[in-house]
A and B are shown apart, each in its own frame.
Chain A
Amino acid sequence: MSQSRLTALILLSPWILSFLVFWLFPLVYSLVMGFTDYRLVARDWTWVGFDNYRSLLQDGAFRSSIENTLVFVLGTVPVTTILALGMALLVNRQFPGRGLFRAGFFMPSITAIVVIALIFTNLYQRGGYIATLAEMVGVTPPQHGWLYNEGTALYAIMAMDVWMAVGYYMLIFLAGLKSIPEELYEAARIQGAGQLRQFFSITLPLLRPVALFILVINSIKSFQVFIEIFVMTKGKFDTASMVYFVYETGLTTAFQFGYASAAAYVLFVIIALFSILQFALLRRRQSLW
């Protein structure tokens, strides 16, 4: 091997090793495990083909975890995106104190999710701040708090998630807004277009790629929601997400590695399909313009 080839290989080795050991191997291993009944408690395992997948279809807990995850994604992603855009518009122009507001809006995004989940566990308590706020606007909070209630627990977590994420996506929108050339707005103003018209004709269309990017990465992240659920409800009250299902089935009590691996792959396929769907739908709309 030539000297430079060898050097290249050495330089690439950290990634090659990392990829092989911590990504490729687990991916394949997990796929194989999904076809076995491998459990930690048992002394050995057997090949069961598609049995795990068949059982998953009939597993009420699995089905409801898919349902909960879909509700979570469809509920938080659009709302977060719209609110993030709104916030970006608010702090886009220069004004005194802009940096402070921008930083303040962004702060929840850099705080560890565990901490936020702990804080909100208290805020959502029976008699807590959010309950008091609700009563002030005439909404009766659930008897035992927002989290100890199947009807509201998931939505409470979703609201917290939106709150946590908006700052992050606001920054991305801000960068997108900055990349729109001023001349376009000038031209529009000369032609007599008002602010609203400018927004819909210039800003939105040109933000489309950024918005698409945000929708896709936010969706992928949201499909994997786990920490909040683990800290706040341990999956109870109809809040178990798919990743929580994988964790609970595979790494607690019965340690059913095979079954959990199969579930993880189903989640993977769902995420992939969803992302492809998003790309297809949103890309096509652009060409219609």
Chain B
Amino acid sequence: MKAVIIAVLAVTFLAGAAGAATTIEWWQFWTDPAVKPVIESMVADFEKANPDIKVKLTDLTWANGHEKIVLAFSSGTAPDVVELGSDWIAQFAANDQLADIGPMVSVDSAQFQGWGLSTYKGAVYACPWILGTRVLFGNRDLLTRAGFDTAFYPINWAQLKDAAKRIQALGSNLYGWGSNTAEKHRLYKKYLPFFWSAGAQIFSDDGSMCVVASSKAVQALRTYQELHDSAGYVDTQRGIEDAFLDGKVGFIISGDWLLKRIELENRKTNLLSTFVPGPTYPGRSFLGGEYLAISKDSDNKDAAMRLIRFVTSPENQVKFCKANRSANPSSLAAQDDPYFSSSLHLQTFIAAIRTAEHPPVDPDWVYIEDILEKAVEDAIFGSHLAGDALLEARYKIEELKGLR
């Protein structure tokens, strides 16, 4: 009799354990009505394919998402899976908040682009999901009015400056170049493509010196300054995009969200898209993106990884990109999908991302960012010379990293 009771208890216990689902939490930033349904359907599909896992989805906004994540980690309430911007990863990794997922991803590493941004001190802390870069957009109508050929696109700085000035000269409230005002974490991102295209670097190859004040960097900043001074329409990112889409600005640097805006708002801009030019062709743009990480204190790392693999699979990435009009899936297989070759502009992005450069993966990147930003602002909006501003930035960065 006792044996039967024990057996029954054992069976019910095991059955219970097997049937109990683990719940994992996922915090992500895609809340806009065009894209959220795709995320939700992905989660539903995942739960169907993995009946032992339940996913609890939480929305974050770009306005305060970073703060929320920081708060969550500090109070020990971080989710299992969290979407992080590429420039945040190093700081969280350095403070021991993220799980080292190197061993879990070694098998599929070759199928994705962008591991460089999530590798810190040799360990991998996040999976690339949707990457992002910037390209140069132009208004073909304005170019034609300024006397350019219908197939023209600027292949170097000289041509860009010339084209922008000629559009500016059309007068009547038209501008050649959409120039960002001093917005935190935005202005310097417009300078960096010029910086990298010129061949400049932030740190020397051996990491012993900060070389932001190299002659190439100064050249790049001077070029940006010239565009700003001679043909600049200064406003917030949103403002210059509005003006560009309204046909008032000749060139802007922007990301793939502009394509989404054009489609959703039914804009009729005669669009040109090309690499951001350098002193010669082609230029190198800025690589960033959205990554998925697992928190160090998570109790469900395996389940979390399964969710990440599912979301970042080629099919799901293509599904997401189609809904969001994104142009840079991290999965190489996804990048080859015919969807991306269906549009000239999507092709520009795919091509740009293959040559884009990313900022150093450094936990102090937040502070370096601020210093660079200050230098660009001083040169563009203050009355500092480009060389002086960058030299000051160099001293501050070297001070910060203890290189002096």
Q: Which A residues have a C-beta under 8 Å from some C-beta of B?
A: 40-43, 60-61, 126, 143-145, 148-151, 233-234, 236-238, 252-255
Q: Is B80 an interface residue (CB 8 A)?
A: no
Sample (23) of A-B pairs whose CB atoms are under 8 Å apart: A40-B71, A40-B74, A41-B91, A41-B92, A43-B97, A60-B374, A61-B370, A126-B234, A143-B234, A144-B181, A144-B232, A145-B234, A148-B182, A148-B234, A148-B381, A149-B381, A150-B381, A151-B383, A234-B183, A236-B381, A252-B67, A253-B366, A255-B67
**Residue of A41, A42, A238 ringed by the most chain B CB atoms within 10 A:** A41
List 16 additional contacts besides A148-B182, A255-B70; criterion CB under 8 Å.
A40-B74, A41-B74, A43-B97, A60-B374, A144-B232, A144-B234, A148-B181, A148-B381, A150-B382, A234-B183, A236-B181, A236-B182, A236-B381, A237-B377, A237-B381, A254-B367
Show the binding face of B for A, using Cβ within 8 Å: 66-67, 70-71, 73-74, 91-92, 95-97, 181-184, 232, 234, 366-367, 370, 374, 377, 381-383, 396
Among residues of B, the one whose C-beta sits closest to the C-beta of A233 is B182
Distance of A237 Cα from B97 Cα, bound (Å): 35
Task: State A21–B183 Cα separation when bound (angstroms).
Answer: 37
Contact B181 A238 (CB under 8 A): no
Give the residue name and chain of the A residue nearest to B396 (CB): A60
Q: Is the CB of A237 within 8 A of B182?
A: yes
Given A42-B95, A150-B382, A150-B383, also A234-B396 (CB < 8 A) = no
Chain B residue with Cβ nearest A153:
B381
Q: Are A41 and B73 in contact (CB under 8 A)?
A: yes
Q: How many A-B residue pairs have CB under 8 A?
A: 55
Contact B182 A41 (CB under 8 A): no
Distance of A111 Cα from B73 Cα, bound (Å) = 39
Query: A144-B232, A148-B181 are contacts. A43–B96 as well, Cβ < 8 Å?
Result: yes
Q: CB distance A253 to B66 under 8 Å?
A: yes
Nearest Cβ distance between residue A124 and chain B, in whole angstroms?
13
By the criterion CB–CB under 8 Å, are A236 and B377 in contact?
A: yes
Q: Main SS of the interface on chain A?
A: loop
CB distance from B383 to the nearest CB of A (A): 7
| Cα of A234 to Cα of B377 in the assembled complex, Å | 13
B-side contacts of A253, CB under 8 Å = 66, 366
Q: Closest Cβ of chain B: how far from A4's Cβ, in Å?
A: 45
A71 to chain B, nearest CB (A): 15
Closest 10 CB pairs of A and B: A236-B182, A144-B234, A150-B382, A40-B74, A148-B181, A150-B381, A42-B95, A41-B95, A148-B234, A40-B70
Residues of A within 8 A of B183 (CB): 234, 236
Residue of A nearest to B384 (CB): A150
Interface centre among B96, B183, B382 (most CB of A within 10 A): B382
Q: Chain A residues with Cβ under 8 A from B381's Cβ?
A: 148-150, 236-237
Q: How far is the CA of A41 from the CA of B119 in the complex (A)?
A: 19
A236 to B70, CA, bound (A): 24
Bound form: Cα–Cα A233–B377 in Å: 13
On chain A, the residues within 8 Å of B182 by CB distance are 148, 233, 236-237
* A91 shortest CB reach to chain B, Å: 41
Chain A, Cβ-Cβ closest to B367 = A254
By a CB distance below 8 angstroms, the chain A residues around B377 are: 150, 236-237
Residues of B within 8 A of A41 (CB): 70, 73-74, 91-92, 95, 97
The closest CB in chain B to the CB of A125 belongs to B235
* The one of B73, B232, B366, B382 that contacts A254, using a Cβ cutoff of 8 Å: B366
Q: How far is the CA of A145 from the CA of B67 in the complex (A)?
A: 32
Choose among B70, B71, B370, B377 the residue with the greatest number of A CB atoms under 10 Å from its CB. Answer: B70
Identity of the chain A residue whose Cβ is nearest the Cβ of B364 in the assembled complex: A254
Contacts of B383 in A (CB 8 A): 150-151
| Residues of chain A contacted by B367 (CB below 8 angstroms) | 254
A73 to B360, CA, bound (A): 41
List the B residue with the shortest CB-CB distance to A251: B67
A181 to B67, CA, bound (A): 58
Distance, CA A233 to CA B236, complexed state (A): 11
Across the interface, which residues of A come within 8 angstroms of B366, CB to CB? 253-254
A21 and B142 alpha carbons, distance in the complex (Å): 63
A60 to B392, CA, bound (A): 10
Taken together as a complex, chains A and B put the C-alpha atoms of A221 and B184 apart, in Å, by: 27
> How far is B91's CA from A188's CA once the two chains are assembled, in angstroms?
73
Q: Which residues of A contact B232 (CB under 8 A)?
A: 144
With both beta carbons as reference points, the residue of chain A lying nearest to B382 in the complex is identified as: A150
Residues of B close to A60: CB separation below 8 A = 374, 396
- Alpha-carbon separation in the docked complex, A43 to B297 (Å): 12
Q: List, in ascending order, chain A residues with CB within 8 A of B181's CB.
A: 144, 148, 236
Q: Closest CB-CB distance, B284 to chain A, in whole Å? A: 26
Nearest chain A CB to B32 CB, angstrom units: 24
**Cα(A126)–Cα(B236), bound, Å:** 13
Measured CB to CB, the closest approach of chain A to B61, in angstroms, equals 15
Give the chain A neighbours of B91 by CB distance below 8 A: 41, 254
Contacts of A254 in B (CB 8 A): 91, 366-367
Closest-CB distance, A121 to chain B (whole angstroms): 11
Minimum distance in angstroms from B76 CB to a CB of chain A: 10
Cα–Cα distance between A252 and B92 once the two chains are bound (Å): 15
Q: Provide the residues of chain B in CB contact with A237, threshold 8 Å.
A: 182, 377, 381
- Looking at B67, B92, B97, B381, which has the most chain A CB atoms within 10 Å of its CB? B381
Contact of A238 among B66, B73, B184, B382 (CB under 8 A): B382
Q: How far is the CB of A152 from chain B (nearest CB, A)?
A: 11
B121 shortest CB reach to chain A, Å:
17
For residue A255, which residue of chain B has the nearest CB?
Answer: B70
